[in-house]
Amino acid sequence: MLQPQTAALLARLRQSRRVREGCLTGAAGCLTHLSTESGQAHPFASTQDAKAWVARFVVWYNTEHRHSAIRFVTPEARHFGLDAALLAQRHQVYQRARARHPERWSRDTRDWTPAGPVRLNPSPEAQELQRIG
Does residue 114 have a pLDDT over 70? yes
Give the list of residues 6+ apart from residue 82 with CB closer than 8 angstroms, or none. 73
Average pLDDT over residues 97-126: 88
Does residue 91 have a pLDDT over 50? yes
Pairwise CA distance, residues 106 & 51, whole Å: 47
Pairwise CA distance, residues 119 & 133, whole Å: 16
Does residue 88 have a pLDDT over 50? yes
Pairwise CA distance, residues 74 & 11, whole Å: 29
Instruction: Identify the pLDDT of residue 123.
Output: 81
What Å distances lie between residue 15 and 19, 32, 65, 75, CA to CA?
A: 10, 18, 29, 31
Query: What confidence tens digit (pLDDT) does each residue in 63-81 have?
Result: 999 999 899 999 999 999 9
Pairwise CA distance, residues 101 & 56, whole Å: 41
Other CB atoms closer than 10 Å to residue 51's CB: what's the count?
16
